[in-house]
Amino acid sequence: MQFVIIGGDAAGMSAASRAKRRCPQMAVTVLEKTRDVSYSACGMPYNIADPSRPIDTLVVRRAEVFREKQDIDLRTGHCATRIDPAARQVSGTTLQGATFTVAYDRLLIATGAAAVIPDLPGFDRPGVFALKSLEDGRRIKAFLAQKAVRQAVIIGMGYIALEMVETLHHRGIATAMVKPRPDLLPWLDRELAAMVAEELAAHGVTCHPGHAVERIDATADGLVVVCGDLRLPADVVIVAVGVRPNSKLASDAGLALGVDKAIAVDRIFRTADPCIYAAGDCAEAFHVVSGRNTWSPLALIANRAGWAVADAVCGDDSENQGVAGTAVFKLFDLEVARTGLNPQEATAAGLAPAAVTITSRSKAHGQPGSSAVRVQMVGDKPSGRLLGVQIVGPLGSAAHRINAAAVALHARLSVAQFSQTDLAYAPPFGPVWDPLLTAANQLLKKLSPL
């Protein structure tokens, strides 16, 4: 069998490696348009913060390892431009301008996602960067090394934007943030989002939500981000307004698109064409809480989807159990974590949510260094099922605690069942009643009023 994969990062290389382990005789070919494969994109903001650490240290496994040790035909610098499902062929061009055609028995589209760049004047100026690929990280790091950067503007206030705030602050660069929508992290409960806003203010970051960017001008002193009457000077501008799935190649081949124009797939990541799969940031995934397909461009989801496709190609058609959308990021001395659905998402999924937001502590009463931890918990009124959790708190209070809630979502626990779980307690790590248990007990009052 000839298994061809388009895309050489998380989903693509996970699928290639697992397919060769399970079916060593299978011919596996990977087409990657860049020179970079299998790298930790999530680590780029932290790497950029350290001028002494080469960005190529983020490469998890080099191309020659896949070729020489795993017998994978990994072709870097090969950009797929067309899929012909009838002929079962992929064609494209190399970085040198040559054309190629590769035949397949089974095909995986793992083309990832691309940074959204607004179609506005000045976004192509020198000193304006997005951060999505390893090459983007190289350019940013080189720019910061070559130029005295005193002030920066970040357009956007999502995960990458907030991680880059900390990166630039670590390098002594004053930073302002701007976005057109009025809310910081609109998916986050407002009480929890307030903690994030306070953390930004405490570190001197100025935020300008509700200001639409019109253009980026160049002046003798650098760049200016123009938002009506608001003008934000900068030596460097980071564009972090989100990503979109790279699904055009699939769409041009006649494959259906689904949520957020991600490639529509079933529970084994198979498209409408039984010979073509799609996985990772370009494709949908099944959400264990909503029971619907979703688009969730996160690292573990992409890697796990690659494994699932390899299993299916090797003859194991077991349905993927789905995702809960579990995510976490660090902002200075805060951790922000979520899993499952917030109330708005639950309503959109046809559920009837009830929610509570509680404030607890990161350590037991009397312990030095105890700080506020806020938890939002969401349950379904008719069934009592746990639907989602959000946590914001100091370092050590949210990132691992959210995993307990994620497991509960996968197990389809009710709020009542979760409230009875035996969570660990010791004074340095939290109060006797863990913040999650406190939230569950409070939510039960809304789900089962006396």
The first and second tokens of residue 319, run together, are 């349905």
Residue 28: what residue type?
Answer: V
Q: Which residues pair with 286 in a beta bridge?
A: 293
The first and second tokens of residue 13, run together, are 């290389």
Phi, psi of 220 (to 5 degrees): -65, -25
Coil, helix or strand at residue 7 = coil
Q: Is residue 290 within 8 Å of 343, Cβ to Cβ?
A: no
Q: Where are the beta strands (DSSP E) in 156-273?
A: 174-179, 206-209, 215-219, 222-227, 230-234, 236-239, 243-245
Neighbours of 141 (CB within 10 A): 19
Q: Is residue 19 within 8 Å of 25, Cβ to Cβ?
A: no
Shortest CA distance to 41 belongs to which of 153, 185, 160? Answer: 160
Q: Which of 23, 42, 275, 314 is an active site residue?
A: 42
- Calpha distance 344→326 (Å, rounded): 17
- Which residues are CB-neighbours of 186 under 8 A, at least 6 positions away? none
The first and second tokens of residue 331, run together, are 């902002």
The first and second tokens of residue 115, run together, are 């940074």
For residue 42, indicate whether it is catalytic.
yes
DSSP 308-358: HHHHHHTT--PPP--B---EEEEETTEEEEEEE--HHHHHHTT--EEEEEE
Question: What does DSSP assign to residue 272?
Answer: S
State in Å, rounded, how far the first CA of the chain is from the last one: 62
Q: Which residues are catalytic?
A: 42
